[in-house]
Amino acid sequence: KNQVEQSPQSLIILEGKNCTLQCNYTVSPFSNLRWYKQDTGRGPVSLTIMTFSENTKSNGRYTATLDADTKQSSLHITASQLSDSASYICVVSAGRDDKIIFGKGTRLHILP
């Protein structure tokens, strides 16, 4: 069964600290993996997209990694800011019919 599991469910860190969010998937055949940021009361916004052959993709202070062998991805946030408080959603697309599977998200709280 195609599944996307994210951890932790929620995370609280102090402003300026780094953090890493995890995404494990059991999707086959794999097409691509996206990380989305969803601010409270808004729709998700794409941060990065990675295909099978890509290991790392950066977008400013956000760096996503992908290990297609272990079917794991991580999103690393450097020097966190208050505006990083949001939910981060891992989304994996499965091959041929391009089925999109959403993770439940990690809720990140940045404290001043």
Partner 1 sequence: NAGVTQTPKFQVLKTGQSMTLQCAQDMNHEYMSWYRQDPGMGLRLIHYSVGAGITDQGEVPNGYNVSRSTTEDFPLRLLSAAPSQTSVYFCASSYSAGAGYEQYFGPGTRLTVT
Binding positions for partner 1, rule: CB under 8 A: 4, 31-32, 34, 41-46, 49, 51, 89, 93-94, 98, 100-105
62/28 Cα distance (integer angstroms): 26
Q: Which is nearer to partner 1, 43 or 112 (CB)?
A: 43
Residue pair 73/103 in contact (Cβ under 8 Å)? The answer is: no
Length of the chain: 112
88/75 Cα distance (integer angstroms): 9
Q: Is 78 exposed, middle or buried (0-12, 13-18, 19+ CB in 10 A)?
A: middle
C-beta of 17: minimal distance to partner 1 in Å?
Answer: 26
Q: Which is nearer to partner 1, 31 or 85 (CB)?
A: 31
Angle CA 82–54–6, to nearest 5: 50
Q: Which is nearer to partner 1, 18 or 55 (CB)?
A: 55
C-beta of 74: minimal distance to partner 1 in Å?
Answer: 18
C-beta of 77: minimal distance to partner 1 in Å?
Answer: 20
C-beta of 2: minimal distance to partner 1 in Å?
Answer: 11
Q: Which is nearer to partner 1, 22 or 102 (CB)?
A: 102
